[in-house]
Structure 1
Amino acid sequence: MNGDRTVTVLLFLVALAVLGALVWVAGVEETLTALGRARLPLVAVVVALTVVWLVSWGLSLYVVLGALGAPVSAPKAVLVFTAAMFSNNITPFGQAGGEPVSALLISEAADSEYETGLAAIASVDTLHFVPSIGMALLGVALFGMDAVTASRDLAISIAILVGLFVLVVGTAVLIYHYHHRIEQALATVVTPIARALSRVVPGRTPPGMRAVENRIGSFFESIDRVGADRRALALAGGFSTIGWFTLGVTLWTAVIAVEASIPLAAALVAVPIGLIAGATPLPGGSGAIETAIAAILVSLTPVSNGGAVAAVLVYRLATYWLPTVVGGLVATGLGARTVRSR
């Protein structure tokens, strides 16, 4: 555990160094001047929009849990989703690193099996990915084809986003058609690992191959249940789309808050493409996401380097640190409740 904390602290220090380098490249004086011009009422609007985003995506989780037969109240789903954002924000590789912890938090809150929590967060994350591509392409369409041809970096980013979409959809199709073989392969790999861990952790009985297969099968059955519920998919996808658009408006408002100006379309493009950088080993993609979004804004609009960086810092102050702080408190509360119940 101490080793994990040390790695996390070191990665946060690296993220701070990346942010410092970003401010230095953009111009320290220019960035600080832009931050000094920030209008507090608009900064408050940025925070309020962040809450709307969290509620929208929390309602997406609420719908998915209902489809899985593990319903929770809408306010509780929003809080649990915020706790899941906390786990994503403090672990390397963003969602990929935080999903196992997020699944545990969801299963505890919904009083369900771990596989159900894992299926819920996996379904929600997949649903979030599809509208992000639609929003980016909408931004490109609104911005005009001239902007795409004028910016080679933007064209490459769009190609990466579409490529990821094809990869995710293709992977989902393959898993759906061959999930029985995948279940058996995973059980073969996971069983010896689980047995080795049970020998290290006291009080744990080594699981058999059949038990592991059953738990993996339970996960895939949960995924199938969500996929078969067309109404839940449409409703959860709608909440996800609202959340994505709100994120775009949040970035646009953050730019206005530092007395700069960009088209809303540029923000709609920058947010989903910038979040690709969240796949870096830095906690929650911190440092990398700010750099990517600022670079996209500078390449697409006449905003200055310092203005773009200042706006992105305001944007991330709300969309990164607010879920991290509030989600951390919620995760702590869930953990304390679990300890008391046991």
Structure 2
Amino acid sequence: MKGRDFTLIGTGIIVILLLIWWAGVEKTLTLIMQANLRYFLLAVLMQAFATIAWTLRWRIFLQRAEVSVKMRDILIATLIGVFANNLTPGARAGGEPARMYVITKRSKSGYGQVFATIMADRILDVIPVLLFTLVAFKYALSLKIKLLLSVLSISTAVLLMIVLISLLISLNEKLAFKVLDRITNLIRRIFPEKFVGIEETLEEKIKKSILEFRETFLELSKDPVVMGKTLFYSLALWGFMLLRAYFIFESIGYTLELHKILMVQMAGIALGMISILPGGLGITEAVNSALYLSLRIDKSLAVTATLLDRFISFWLPTIIGGGLSIYLGVKFSKESVRK
């Protein structure tokens, strides 16, 4: 990590501290300390189920692309991808190179082949999000909440832009080459020792990967069975994430209807993606708290629920994924030494 990254993370933490101060330090800490452990653990369980659903969805794409890899390795790659995403500002695209690197190492498959499954996975993830966003928009209209309507409009526009860019990358060979080249540079920054002495052959490998990528992506997009199964897991994933937030509110003694949670979760997605802070740190907390406030929830409850939810969805996966990335970095280094 560069000094700039630490500065951005520090800025995000300062925003969170200011948010706690604004909501009332004593009241916020009291709510956290008195949170119902059973409901809190149910929220953690929902996050675990969401991660497993994501892993199972990606496994379907990998199996269809004939990438032979264990379920355990897919789960590890997913968690490391979450860790990398949470360190990446903006659209949180840092997880894709990390996921691709881990799977290619564990499966001995080509970069393009694995990258195609990741792109298909990312594009399909947008479909249920758009569906949920439209439902959230309907509820926001009925409640006449201008802030939520405005943010949901931005969220929808950003999501459609992501789909368009992803499709352009998938169908345009030159653009795909540029993207894979940038991804390779990112991987080189994460694992620099792996690229020593191979710079000259790197461009040739990337060109080969582009051909693998296009062939695999087109095969995946034409299989209705694969699309049906993966769509099911996508809907399950987002369902678990909504239940996670629901149980968080229950843990602090406040029952919030699922459709209201849906409005806030969908509205906050796009703003997290365009945040200049890694993983939307600080920005996501502030935005979600403001959106809950628009539903006339007490500010201390809104901030506390947001902090607990982010602890489960951001901090825990980041810690676990960071630990796994260190472990695999050491393991891959030992394997290369043996060779």
> What is the TM-score normalised by the length of structure 1?
0.85
Q: How far is 1:207 from its partner?
A: 4.1
The answer to whether the 8 A contact 2:123-2:163 is kept is no
- Are 1:231 and 2:225 counterparts? yes
Q: 1:108 aligns with which of 105, 108, 126?
A: 105
Q: Which amino acid aligns with 2:285?
A: E
Q: How far is 1:175 from its partner?
A: 4.8
- Measured in 2, the distance between the counterparts of 1:78 and 1:186 equals 28
- Measured in 1, the distance between the counterparts of 2:41 and 2:296 equals 25
Give the fraction of aligned pairs with identical amino acids, expressed as a percent.
Answer: 22
In structure 2, do the counterparts of structure 1 residues 146 and 209 end up closer, same or farther at CA, with 3 Å as the change threshold? closer
Q: Which amino acid aligns with 2:284?
A: I
- Measured in 2, the distance between the counterparts of 1:212 and 1:44 equals 44
What does residue range 115-194 of structure 1 map to in structure 2 within 5 Å?
115-141=112-138, 143=139, 145-147=141-143, 150-175=144-169, 179-180=172-173, 182=175, 186=178
In structure 2, do the counterparts of structure 1 residues 54 and 305 end up closer, same or farther at CA, with 3 Å as the change threshold? same
- Are 1:295 and 2:293 counterparts? no
The answer to whether the 8 A contact 1:255-1:312 is kept is no
DSSP 3-state at the match of 2:291: helix
The answer to whether the 8 A contact 1:103-1:120 is kept is no
In structure 2, do the counterparts of structure 1 residues 337 and 13 end up closer, same or farther at CA, with 3 Å as the change threshold? same
- Are 1:11 and 2:8 counterparts? yes
What does residue range 203-242 of structure 1 map to in structure 2 within 5 Å?
203-207=197-201, 212-242=206-236
The answer to whether the 8 A contact 1:58-1:79 is kept is no
In structure 2, do the counterparts of structure 1 residues 160 and 77 end up closer, same or farther at CA, with 3 Å as the change threshold? same
In structure 2, do the counterparts of structure 1 residues 277 and 208 end up closer, same or farther at CA, with 3 Å as the change threshold? closer
The answer to whether the 8 A contact 2:133-2:263 is kept is yes
The answer to whether the 8 A contact 1:15-1:286 is kept is yes
The answer to whether the 8 A contact 2:103-2:114 is kept is yes
- Measured in 2, the distance between the counterparts of 1:50 and 1:211 equals 37
Q: Which amino acid aligns with 2:154?
A: I
What does residue range 1-342 of structure 1 map to in structure 2 within 5 Å?
4-93=1-90, 95-141=92-138, 143=139, 145-147=141-143, 150-175=144-169, 179-180=172-173, 182=175, 186=178, 202-207=196-201, 212-279=206-273, 280-299=275-294, 301-342=295-336
The answer to whether the 8 A contact 1:278-1:285 is kept is yes
Q: How far is 1:264 from its partner?
A: 0.9
Q: Which amino acid aligns with 1:332?
A: I
Q: How far is 1:104 from its partner?
A: 1.3
- Measured in 1, the distance between the counterparts of 2:58 and 2:332 equals 21
Q: Which amino acid aligns with 2:153?
A: A
Q: Which blocks of at least 5 consecutive residues in structure 1 are unaligned?
A: none
- Measured in 2, the distance between the counterparts of 1:98 and 1:180 equals 22
- Measured in 2, the distance between the counterparts of 1:227 and 1:114 equals 18
Single out whichever of 285-294 and 274-283 deviates more from structure 2: 274-283
> What is the TM-score normalised by the length of structure 2?
0.86
Q: Which amino acid aligns with 1:86?
A: F
DSSP 3-state at the match of 1:90: coil
DSSP 3-state at the match of 1:95: coil
- Measured in 2, the distance between the counterparts of 1:339 and 1:211 equals 21
The answer to whether the 8 A contact 1:104-1:118 is kept is no
- Measured in 1, the distance between the counterparts of 2:301 and 2:217 equals 44
- Measured in 1, the distance between the counterparts of 2:196 and 2:71 equals 38
Single out whichever of 224-233 and 234-243 deviates more from structure 2: 224-233
Q: How far is 1:180 from its partner?
A: 4.1
- Measured in 1, the distance between the counterparts of 2:118 and 2:173 equals 21
- Measured in 1, the distance between the counterparts of 2:199 and 2:129 equals 43
- Measured in 2, the distance between the counterparts of 1:53 and 1:259 equals 24
Q: How far is 1:219 from its partner?
A: 2.3
Q: Which amino acid aligns with 2:125?
A: H
- Measured in 2, the distance between the counterparts of 1:326 and 1:54 equals 12
Q: How far is 1:335 from its partner?
A: 2.3
- Measured in 2, the distance between the counterparts of 1:52 and 1:101 equals 22
In structure 2, do the counterparts of structure 1 residues 218 and 34 end up closer, same or farther at CA, with 3 Å as the change threshold? same
Q: How far is 1:242 from its partner?
A: 0.6
- Measured in 2, the distance between the counterparts of 1:208 and 1:74 equals 29
In structure 2, do the counterparts of structure 1 residues 337 and 146 end up closer, same or farther at CA, with 3 Å as the change threshold? same
In structure 2, do the counterparts of structure 1 residues 202 and 261 end up closer, same or farther at CA, with 3 Å as the change threshold? closer
In structure 2, do the counterparts of structure 1 residues 101 and 77 end up closer, same or farther at CA, with 3 Å as the change threshold? closer
Q: Which amino acid aligns with 2:254?
A: A
In structure 2, do the counterparts of structure 1 residues 321 and 110 end up closer, same or farther at CA, with 3 Å as the change threshold? farther
- Measured in 2, the distance between the counterparts of 1:158 and 1:118 equals 30
